[in-house]
């Protein structure tokens, strides 16, 4: 089948693995029949000797592997990272040298849900990048939220057990809105910062392409002279940070549970390649490992960008979809310990536990110790290790002395010396102060509220509105009064207005704060709104009627595609247009959640009053999307919730007049003023 670039999702034709187009057994023997098992007579019992039957069924029986215990639901893409060279002053890592290009594979994920769960649930998103550098693989295994629930990895099983479905009925799937989750996070106040981010619009991204990414932990970079700096990694999306509104997220769970996965693949296929800049906040590596009083080893803290700007060090473009989901996206194995010379870890107790956990879980998930040989996990650097044998060994190692030192294989492999030219990985010789073994935590980890309040105070009115609604929804799903009340007490310790609004929604009175509120300077960089962004790969639903001119449609489509926006034609029926252009949706099959904006064409006036069209426009209006019409399409709008004079609705006589206005409105992501008055403050 030829691949049709105009139809997203057209499968790539099957390529024979080893050069035959005939059906064979796994052993390569051509088969004459794969539709009937070998039986004693036409209606007789099946014979045990049927090797092909047993091979086919046995392999099928073992097609599934254990899903990831967290981050099971994911989607991925290949791409390339190009370094600006600006990191050369702080790290010797050669993939960060100017103009160096490095292949990457990125897997995005939700955390809580099973592999088949919906994409648009409220959750943290994983953002894991494998850099196939010339000096070995570097994995930056981050999230779209810069802080974590817990400060010490020993509590990871606790938070995950609390967040996963209840063990008795195994519900709810992929949700934090339940008793055990809020029980845990209200008993462990260090989780309050992460949950505040979850309850904000960051918890329901519009797409993977519009998410920020964070390394979360502080890393250590080592320069050519062996000098170290502490850094925090940030991915900044070219399209800006953009979220769904909650009702859209819920609707998509039903209409299109694959929404994010589809969006990523479609955008790449359409040539709207997702792009991020990698940046670092750089701090001096002092013995205290703090910056302006913030403990850099505490993963529940950020360093506001206003205090330490994010300095761009390179750009990542995702330009190729995986060929096979299982082989690549499912089998990819990230590891925080995949480091290259010039990058090292720190003593963050969360990071330290992760260094152990990833290989351990992959041993089970990928069935033995040789998963680094799976094609997607293979390093692009030359390998000469002494790892041998084990399940699924696919190398045929030569030689007789896989040990060091040896004199039998000519002493090979050699251990490189520690000179800079040898480019061996050297653990940075961090000085360990006199210390006693202890299970205690530093006092600098004790403040669990001031940065949460700072986040809240940095939000615009519309973002605050969404946070209040999210806490209200989540806690309304908790059935135990003590859980709700304990959490609302924490909200009072974050901000009394927040607590009061959530308590009112839940039907009780908010308590007073039990701690003194700290007013840190707001950090405008935490807000997602108030700027304008490129439109690549966003969609406009173009509603056409029986009288719409084919030339006008072609003109508008060309203008939109020229601006990297995808127009989807919505017509009363599915018949192609007179010039052969296919209709993408009918009024019966289109739902607002697929589109970022709606444009009603001239010649559509006979559609006025159509209930499905009114629903489409009504929902789009309610979700603060840009809406436009030209010619007699304006009459259609007048019969819907989006009256032509309302906020964020644009109308004109000619198409030219309306398209530019619509694109400008879309650049701000949504018509925020429609959601709350003075939305941006």
Query: Which span sits near ligand HDE by CB under 6 A: 141-149, 233-241, 304-312, 371-379?
Result: 141-149
**How do beta strands 597-600 and 626-630 pair?**
parallel
Q: Taking the CA of residue 678 as centre, how many other CA atoms within 13 Å lie in the half-sphere pointing to its CB?
A: 3
Q: Assess 591 for contact with ligand HDE (CB under 6 A).
A: no
Compute the least distance from the CB of residue 550 to ligand HDE, in Å.
Answer: 46
Q: Assess 148 for contact with ligand HDE (CB under 6 A).
A: yes
Q: Assess 350 for contact with ligand HDE (CB under 6 A).
A: yes
Compute the least distance from the CB of residue 291 to ligand HDE, in Å.
Answer: 19
Q: Assess 70 for contact with ligand HDE (CB under 6 A).
A: yes
Q: Taking the CA of residue 429 as centre, how many other CA atoms within 13 Å lie in the half-sphere pointing to its CB?
A: 3
- Of 52, 73, 74, 669, which lies in the binding site for ligand HDE, with binding defined by CB under 6 A? 74
Compute the least distance from the CB of residue 130 to ligand HDE, in Å.
Answer: 9
DSSP-derived 3-state class of residue 220: strand
**Two structure tokens written together for 165:** 């479905």
Q: How far, rounded to the nearest angstrom, does the alpha carbon of residue 515 sit from its chain's CA centroid?
A: 35
Alpha helix positions (H), 256-341: 259-269
**Two structure tokens written together for 120:** 């648009």
d(CA 38, CA 566): 52
Q: Assess 334 for contact with ligand HDE (CB under 6 A).
A: yes
- Of 196, 216, 222, 560, which lies in the binding site for ligand HDE, with binding defined by CB under 6 A? 216
CB burial of 38-73 (b: ≥16 within 10 Å; e: otherwise) equals eeeeeeeeeeeeeebbeebeeeeeeeeeebbebbbb
| CA distances (Å), origin 638, targets 625, 646, 647 | 17, 10, 13
Query: Which span sits near ligand HDE by CB under 6 A: 179-187, 350-358, 464-472, 501-509?
Result: 350-358
Burial class (CB within 10 angstroms; exposed 0-12, middle 13-18, buried 19+) of 36: exposed
Active site residue 71: yes
Q: Assess 109 for contact with ligand HDE (CB under 6 A).
A: yes
537: left (phi over 0), alpha (psi -120 to 50) or beta: left
Q: Assess 184 for contact with ligand HDE (CB under 6 A).
A: no
Compute the least distance from the CB of residue 163 to ligand HDE, in Å.
Answer: 12
Q: Assess 345 for contact with ligand HDE (CB under 6 A).
A: no
Compute the least distance from the CB of residue 483 to ligand HDE, in Å.
Answer: 24
- Of 92, 143, 548, 592, which lies in the binding site for ligand HDE, with binding defined by CB under 6 A? 143
Nearer to ligand HDE, 70 or 204 (CB): 70
Nearer to ligand HDE, 159 or 634 (CB): 159
Which are the contacts of 163, defined by CB distance < 8 A and separation ≥ 6?
111, 112, 176, 180, 181, 184
Task: Evaluate the omega torsion of the peptide bond into residue 364 and state whether it is cis, within 30 degrees of 0.
Answer: no
Other Cβ atoms within 10 Å of 410 Cβ, number: 10
Q: Which of 52, 71, 217, 260 is catalytic?
A: 71
Residue (of 574, 582, 627, 564) closest to 601 by Cα position: 627
Q: Which of 52, 143, 198, 466 is catalytic?
A: 143
Query: Which span sits near ligand HDE by CB under 6 A: 52-60, 70-78, 485-493, 536-544?
Result: 70-78
Q: Assess 354 for contact with ligand HDE (CB under 6 A).
A: yes
- Of 79, 126, 136, 572, which lies in the binding site for ligand HDE, with binding defined by CB under 6 A? 126
d(CA 309, CA 643): 43
Residue (of 218, 341, 333) closest to 286 by Cα position: 218
Compute the least distance from the CB of residue 437 to ligand HDE, in Å.
Answer: 20
Compute the least distance from the CB of residue 73 to ligand HDE, in Å.
Answer: 10
* Number of residues this chain uses to bind ligand HDE (CB under 6 A): 26
Nearer to ligand HDE, 128 or 239 (CB): 128
- Of 52, 107, 202, 484, which lies in the binding site for ligand HDE, with binding defined by CB under 6 A? 107
Interface with ligand HDE by CB under 6 A: which residues? 68-71, 74, 107, 109, 126, 128, 141-143, 148, 153, 156, 216, 332-334, 350, 353-354, 357-358, 361-362
Hey, which residues are catalytic here? 71, 143
């Amino acid at each position: 089948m030829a691949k049709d670039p105009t139809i997203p999702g057209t499968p790539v034709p099957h390529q024979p693995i080893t050069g035959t187009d005939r059906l064979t057994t796994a052993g390569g023997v051509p088969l004459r029949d794969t539709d009937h098992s070998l039986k004693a007579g036409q209606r007789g019992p099946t014979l045990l000797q049927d090797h092909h039957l047993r091979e086919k069924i046995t392999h099928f029986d073992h097609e599934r592997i254990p899903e990831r215990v967290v981050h099971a639901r994911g989607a991925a893409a290949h791409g390339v990272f190009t370094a600006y060279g600006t990191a050369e002053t702080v790290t010797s890592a050669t993939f960060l040298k100017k103009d160096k290009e490095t292949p990457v594979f990125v897997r995005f994920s939700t955390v809580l849900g099973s592999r088949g769960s919906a994409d648009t649930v409220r959750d943290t998103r994983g953002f894991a990048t494998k850099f196939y550098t010339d000096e070995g693989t570097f994995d930056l295994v981050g999230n779209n939220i810069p802080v974590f629930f817990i400060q010490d990895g020993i509590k990871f099983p606790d938070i995950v057990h609390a967040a996963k479905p209840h063990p008795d009925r195994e519900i709810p799937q992929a949700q934090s809105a339940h008793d055990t989750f809020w029980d845990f996070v209200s008993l462990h106040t260090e989780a309050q910062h992460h949950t505040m981010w979850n309850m904000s619009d960051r918890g329901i991204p519009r797409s993977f392409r519009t998410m920020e990414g964070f390394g979360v932990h502080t890393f250590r970079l080592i320069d050519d002279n062996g000098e170290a700096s502490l850094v925090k990694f940030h991915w900044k999306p070219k399209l800006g940070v953009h979220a769904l509104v909650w009702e859209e997220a819920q609707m998509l769970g039903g209409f299109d549970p694959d929404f994010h996965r589809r969006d990523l693949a479609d955008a790449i296929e359409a040539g709207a390649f997702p792009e991020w800049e990698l940046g670092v906040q750089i701090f001096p590596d002092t013995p205290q490992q703090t910056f302006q009083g913030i403990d850099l080893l505490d993963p529940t803290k950020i360093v506001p960008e206003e205090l330490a700007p994010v300095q761009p060090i390179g750009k990542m473009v995702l330009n190729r979809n995986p060929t096979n989901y299982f082989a690549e996206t499912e089998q990819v194995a990230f590891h925080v310990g995949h480091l290259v010379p010039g990058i090292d870890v720190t003593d963050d107790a969360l990071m330290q536990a992760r260094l152990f956990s990833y290989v351990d879980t992959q041993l089970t998930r990928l069935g033995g110790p040789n998963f680094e040989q799976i094609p997607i996990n293979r390093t692009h650097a030359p390998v000469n290790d002494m790892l041998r044998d084990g399940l699924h060994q696919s190398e045929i190692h030569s030689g007789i002395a896989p040990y060091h030192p040896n004199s039998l294989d000519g002493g090979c492999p050699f251990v490189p010396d520690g000179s800079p030219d040898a480019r061996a990985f050297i653990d940075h010789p961090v000085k360990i102060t006199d210390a006693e073994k202890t299970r205690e935590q530093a006092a600098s980890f004790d403040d669990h509220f001031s940065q949460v309040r700072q986040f809240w105070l940095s939000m615009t009115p519309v973002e605050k509105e969404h946070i209040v609604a999210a806490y209200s929804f989540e806690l309304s799903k908790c059935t135990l009064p003590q859980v709700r009340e304990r959490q609302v007490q924490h909200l009072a310790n974050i901000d009394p207005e927040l607590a009061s609004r959530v308590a009112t929604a839940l039907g009780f009175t908010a308590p007073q704060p039990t701690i003194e509120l700290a007013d840190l300077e707001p950090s405008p960089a935490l807000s997602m709104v108030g700027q304008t962004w490129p439109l690549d790969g966003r969609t406009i639903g173009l509603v056409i009627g029986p009288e719409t001119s084919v030339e006008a449609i072609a003109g508008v489509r060309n203008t939109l595609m020229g601006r990297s926006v995808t127009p989807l034609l919505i017509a009363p029926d599915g018949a192609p247009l007179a010039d052969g252009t296919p209709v993408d949706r009918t009024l019966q099959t289109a739902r607002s959640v697929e589109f970022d904006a709606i444009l009603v064409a001239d010649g559509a006036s006979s559609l006025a009053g159509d209930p499905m069209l009114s629903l489409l426009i009504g929902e789009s209006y309610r979700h603060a999307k840009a809406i436009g019409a030209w010619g007699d399409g304006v009459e259609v709008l007048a019969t819907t919730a989006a009256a032509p004079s309302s906020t964020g609705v644009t109308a004109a006589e000619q198409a030219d007049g309306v398209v530019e206005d619509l694109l400008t409105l879309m650049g701000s992501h949504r018509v925020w003023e429609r959601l709350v008055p003075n939305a941006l403050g």
